[in-house]
Amino acid sequence: MSDLTRLGAAELAEKLAGGEVTSVDVTRAHLERIGEVDSRLHAFLHVGEESAMATAADVDARRAAGEDVPTLAGVPVAVKDLINTTDQPTTAGSRMLEGWVPPYDATVVARLRAAGLPILGKTNLDEFAMGSSNEHSAYGPTRNPWDTDRIPGGSSGGSAAAVASHEAPLALGTDTGGSIRQPGAMTGVVGMKPTYGGVSRYGVVAMASSLDQVGPMARSVLDAALLHEVVAGHDPLDSTSIDAPVPDVVAAARRGDVSGLKIGIVRELGGEGFQPGVQAAFDGAVEQLAQAGAEVVEVACPSFRHGIAAYYLVMPSEVSSNLARFDAMRYGLRVSPEGVPDPSAEQVMSASRDAGFGDEVKRRIVLGTYALSSGYYDAYYGSAQKVRTLIARDFAAAFEQVDVLVSPTAPTTAWRLGEKSDDPLAMYLEDVCTIPANLAGVPGLSLPVGLADDTGLPVGVQFLAPALADDRVYNVAAALERLVAAPVLEEVR
pLDDT tens track for 181-238: 999 999 999 999 999 999 999 999 999 999 999 999 999 999 999 999 999 999 999 9
pLDDT digits (tens, 9 = 90+) for 303-343: 999 999 999 999 999 999 999 999 998 888 999 998 888 89
Per-residue model confidence as pLDDT tens digits over 361-417: 999 999 999 999 988 888 999 999 999 999 999 999 999 999 999 999 999 999 999
Residue 483 lies in a domain: no
- CATH number for the domain including 90? 3.90.1300.10
Cβ within 8 Å of residue 333, ≥6 positions away: 95, 96, 97, 98, 326, 352, 355, 356
In-domain check, residue 94: yes
Q: How many domains are contained in the chain?
A: 1
Q: In this predicted structure, what is the pLDDT of residue 341? A: 87
Contact 381, 372 (CB under 8 A): yes
CB 86 within 8 A of CB 105: yes
Mean pLDDT of the chain: 96
Q: Which of 407, 423, 403 is nearest to 415 (CA)?
A: 423
Question: Given 80, 122, 193, 420, which residue is catalytic?
Answer: 80
Specify the pLDDT at position 374.
85
Q: Which domain holds residue 115?
A: 3-261
> Of how many residues is the chain composed?
493
Query: Of 179, 303, 317, 407, which one is the catalytic site residue?
Result: 179
Specify the pLDDT at position 487.
81
Angle, helix 9-17 to helix 23-41, in steps of 10 degrees: 160
Half-sphere exposure at residue 277, Cβ-oriented, CA atoms within 13 angstroms: 15
pLDDT for 81: 98
From 155, 220, 241, 317, active-site residue: 155
Residue 316 lies in a domain: no
**Non-local CB neighbours of 108 within 8 Å, separated by 6+ positions:** 83, 172, 199, 200, 203, 204, 214, 231
Q: pLDDT tens, 135-154?
A: 999 999 999 999 999 999 99
Strand-pairing partners, residue 188, are none
Would 177 be classed as within a structural domain? yes
Where does the pLDDT of residue 1 fall: very low under 50, low under 70, confident under 90, or very high at 90 and above?
confident
Asked whether residue 317 is assigned to any structural domain, the reply reads: no
- For residue 426, pLDDT over 90 is answered with no
Query: Residues 6 or more apart from 136 whose CB is under 8 A from it?
Result: 93, 126, 127, 130, 154, 155, 358, 359, 360, 361
Q: φ, ψ for residue 283 (rounded to 5)?
A: -60, -40
∠333-337-343 over CA atoms, to 5°?
Answer: 100
Cα–Cα dist 326/330, whole Å: 8
pLDDT at 493: 81
What CA–CA distance (Å, rounded) separates 444 from 56?
32
pLDDT for the residue numbered 491 = 86
271 is a domain residue: no
Task: Judge whether 466 lies within some domain.
Answer: no
Q: For this structure, is 15 an active site residue?
A: no
Q: How many CB atoms lie within 10 A of CB 109?
A: 27
Asked if pLDDT for residue 422 goes beyond 90, the answer is no
Report CA-CA distances (Å) from 251 to 135, 161, 306. Answer: 37, 27, 36
pLDDT at res. 2: 86
Rounded Cα distance between 139 and 126, Å, is 9
Which tens digit of pLDDT belongs to each residue from 102-140? 999 999 999 999 999 999 999 999 999 999 999 999 999
Q: What pLDDT, on a 0 to 100 scale, did the predictor assign at position 93? A: 98
Q: How far apart are CA 269 and CA 288, in angstroms?
A: 19
pLDDT at 213: 98
Catalytic (active site) residue 386: no
Instruction: State if pTM tops 0.95.
Output: yes
In a domain, 160, yes or no: yes
From the list 359, 362, 361, 381, the residue with the least C-alpha distance to 371 is: 381
How distant, in Å, are the alpha carbons of 4, 119, 217, 485 from that of 169? 10, 11, 9, 19
CA pair distance 59, 70, nearest whole angstrom: 10
Q: Is 446 in the active site?
A: no
Largest CA distance in the chain: 74
Cα–Cα distance between 213 and 194 in angstroms, integer? 7
pLDDT digits (tens, 9 = 90+) for 277-294: 999 999 999 999 999 999
Mean pLDDT, residues 250-267 taken together = 97
Res 50 pLDDT > 80: yes
- In degrees rounded to 5, what are phi and psi of residue 305? -60, -25
pLDDT of residue 214: 98
Q: What is the pLDDT of residues 54-105, one digit of tens each?
A: 999 999 999 999 999 999 999 999 999 999 999 999 999 999 999 999 999 9
> How far is it, in rounded angstroms, from Cα 375 to Cα 377?
6
